[in-house]
Amino acid sequence: MNPLRIFSRAYSTVKVIPTPGITNGFIGAIGNTPLLRLKKLSEETGSDILAKAEFMNPGGSVKDRAALFVVKDAEEKGLIAPGGTVVEGTAGNTGIGLAHVCRAKGYKCVIYMPNTQSQEKIDLLRMLGAEVYPVPAVAFDNPENYNHQAKRHAEKLENAVWTNQFDNTANRRAHIETTGPEIMEQTNGEVDGFVCATGTGGTLAGITRYLKDQKGDNVKVYLADPPGSVLHSYVSTNGKLFERSGSSITEGIGQGRITDNLAPDVKLIDGSFTIPDEETIKMIYRLLDEEGIYVGASSALNVVAAVEMSKKLGKGKKIVTILCDGAYRYQSRLFSRTWLESKKLSTAIPEHLQKYIVLP
């Protein structure tokens, strides 16, 4: 028999996976990220632990979605004209997304951020052409909070907009219109649970609203919270308590108030978890070792919470969470023995994973 015929017959049985067509530059590449089944954790729990690979957005994080939508919102409302300036207060990832979107659309970008954020984020923002102001980290009710400084900066400029990611519900809309529908399609509508942490509230609220509208009580939604945030106490007491205790190594998540993005949907949340930093740091290293996935602390916290949710719902469920960004933006901390020891976290990493602590 002709060997070419044998080859062609075998090849014809291979399923051809459609590939994306040509996209409209950076902006056209935002969204439609893969949903990854975490094999080891799924086997351990008896449920499918599914993680939305938001680090595969073109700007490297879930915040690319919010960045695009808040700029589009400003354009639709006539708040900015060509050549204008976008100003935002951010812990980093929204700023990075905005810097990319601004370059693609021809706007200037100004970012105010807490000076507690990683140097990698600050450096990247400046490389992307943004004007960056790291300022002391103070509470939201302090007039020197980075968000208030960003607002004042925008008010001093002509043809400028403060995009106000925390209370601009275009952030939430990004996930009602894109992330939520993607999750439903990727799971064939069989998602049983969703859990993630929140900072602005946009991702959690938008996905919650979409999933609950589609499935009602047939899908459960939980909040994952780091130490130092008040949201776990708020959700777990049905809005009676705002208890804050401790602090966390995570960046960009946790909150001291209910933002306008979160407010419309907070009552739809079925429960919450508070995740210790020790569990978060251990999961960072587990995901690297077991799955080959290199993610930051907020992503790892989300995965820990997905495992906890699987215990709540029982075996045989599909639990979805968010891998917010990669570890590249935090590697000088998360993989530094000196830094880990300063946070008393080095011993939380199992002995067989200590080999990944490669920085002094």
Q: Which residues are catalytic?
A: 63
In this structure, the dihedral spanned by the alpha carbons of residues 131, 136, 142 and 147, taken in order and rounded to 10 degrees, is: 20
- Residue 319 tokens, joined: 């639990």
285: how many CB neighbours lie within 10 A of its CB? 21
Q: CA-based angle 299:254:223, to the nearest 5? A: 70
Distance, C-alpha 159 to centroid of its chain? 30
Q: Which residues contact 172 (CB under 8 A, 6 or more apart)?
A: 201, 202, 205, 206, 209, 261, 264, 265
**What is the Cα–Cα distance from 95 to 125, expressed in whole angstroms?**
7
Query: First-to-last CA distance in the chain?
Result: 62
CB 257 within 8 A of CB 230: yes
R_g of the chain, CA atoms, integer Å: 21
Name the residue among 295, 330, 327, 259 with its Cα closest to residue 116: 330
> Alpha helices of 216-336 — where are they, by DSSP H?
231-236, 277-286, 297-313, 331-334
- Residue 288 tokens, joined: 């690297």
**What is the Cα–Cα distance from 252 to 200, expressed in whole angstroms?**
8
